Amino acid sequence: MLSNKTILVGITGGIAAYKICELIRRFKKNGANVKVVCTPNALNFVTKLTLQNLSQNEVYVEEFEVKEWKPEHISLADEADIMVIAPATANTISKIACGIADNLLTSIACAFRKKMIIAPAMNCNMWNNPGVKENIRVLKARGVEILEPESGFLACGYMGKGRLCGVDKIYDAVCEGLNYSQKLKGKKVVITSGGTIEDIDPVRYISNYSSGKMGFALASSAKQMGAEVVLITTKEIEAPYKIVKVKSALDMQKALDEEFDSSDIVIMAAAVADYRVKEVSPQKMKKGVNEELTLELVKNPDILKGLCEKKTHQCIIGFCAESENLIENAKEKITKKGCDYLIANDISRNDIGFGSEDNEVVILDKNGGMKRLEKASKSVIACQILEAVY
């Protein structure tokens, strides 16, 4: 979803510099061209070789390592679609606010005329310094997006506000800053994810291998496209949108019913159990003398089918997890469920589907159309699904 975009990542000399490796990895995984520029101090916290390998580009540190006629601070500034400086120290923040250009990073920042995002990270007393506060105010007034540091235990042993914000938050801000197609602005998108948990007794339950990643990717992409997102999930996740934590299929159905009427798009990426235990034991079941134990199961409601039967304006997208005859089974399922689209994926493979970072799907629509999405990260697949269905 970031292909054809060049992201300039500025790293300064803070202990959180190592976290930017994950950010670069995510940008690359989603197709971006990543250029990294470091202050000399940054290399005390992360090596040039690591950054070079992750970005698959040269890492720039000092000015006048000129390889072409244009000075690097100009060519790098011209080439990038967006610049994100993370972590940003008080020193670099203050230099940029004052127009000081005494190294390659501050020179680029001085020449940069497009969207700039700064994620400060420093000791809490430095963050509260009036001079730093004033420089932050100046940068905000110039249209620089500041991702506020978080509060908590700091590397320097203090407790307070100054810790670099989450990498997810930086990633989402960059995607939004790239004006990623805001086609879902004003729309409410409800997504389910994760495997439901059907209790047997206080200790045991029936579930499945769904990690929730496909649903998380859809929620993140929908957010980046401007949607109001509600994620109904059985998994733990922190995210910049509403999360409704559920456990069983019945819990999930109840949560969906509360969000359905006001939703525009519903995406059922969760792996919902078709059956639950008829009688959940209030106490831990003791091992009997018999060699066998029989559990009596009863059917769970088909949530997706129920939503399709009561829909008014909503676009309803189901998923289809098959281990064989993917297309035939999916064609039968989309008719049986009555959804607008069905996303079919082969869960017999270990490189896609349950728990994996990647997926490969076929999008079926209710008019018989089919669109195959080649194997890619779930983030890329999520974005392509949203682009295809709405």
Interface residues toward ligand PMT, by CB under 6 A:
193, 210-214, 249, 268-272, 274, 300, 302-304, 318-321, 345, 347, 353-355
Beta-sheet strand order (sheet of 341-346): 242-245, 228-233, 188-193, 265-268, 315-322, 341-346, 358-365, 370-377
Pairing of strands 275-277, 265-268: unpaired
Cβ at position 362, least distance to ligand PMT in Å: 12
The separation between CA 307 and the C-alpha centre of its own chain, rounded to angstroms, equals 26
Cβ at position 103, least distance to ligand PMT in Å: 42
Query: Does 124 qualify as catalytic in the annotation?
Result: no
Please say which residue, 14 or 318, places its beta carbon nearer to ligand PMT: 318
| Nearest of 79, 76, 78, 81 to residue 38 by alpha carbon | 76
Please say which residue, 105 or 191, places its beta carbon nearer to ligand PMT: 191
Q: What's the farthest any 2 CA atoms get from each other in the chain?
A: 84
Cβ at position 270, least distance to ligand PMT in Å: 5
Please say which residue, 30 or 193, places its beta carbon nearer to ligand PMT: 193
Measured CA to CA, the distance from residue 153 to residue 15 in angstroms comes to: 13
Measured CA to CA, the distance from residue 67 to residue 70 in angstroms comes to: 8
Cβ at position 244, least distance to ligand PMT in Å: 15
Measured CA to CA, the distance from residue 258 to residue 312 in angstroms comes to: 15
Cβ at position 340, least distance to ligand PMT in Å: 12
Please say which residue, 97 or 316, places its beta carbon nearer to ligand PMT: 316
Cβ at position 342, least distance to ligand PMT in Å: 8
Please say which residue, 55 or 359, places its beta carbon nearer to ligand PMT: 359
Pairing of strands 159-163, 150-153: antiparallel
Please say which residue, 24 or 271, places its beta carbon nearer to ligand PMT: 271
Helix axes 213-224 and 378-389, enclosed angle (nearest 10): 60
Phi, psi of 150 (to 5 degrees): -100, 160
Given a contact cutoff of 8 angstroms between Cβ atoms, the answer to whether 345 and 321 are in contact is yes
Please say which residue, 60 or 354, places its beta carbon nearer to ligand PMT: 354
Specify the amino acid at residue 267.
I
Pairing of strands 297-299, 370-377: unpaired
CB atoms within 10 A of CB 313: 7
> Is residue 199 exposed (0-12), middle (13-18) or buried (19+ Cβ within 10 Å)?
middle
Record the tokens describing residue 289, joined without a space: 């003398």
Cβ at position 210, least distance to ligand PMT in Å: 4
- The catalytic residue among 21, 38, 124, 156 is 156
Could you give the residue numbers annotated as active site?
156
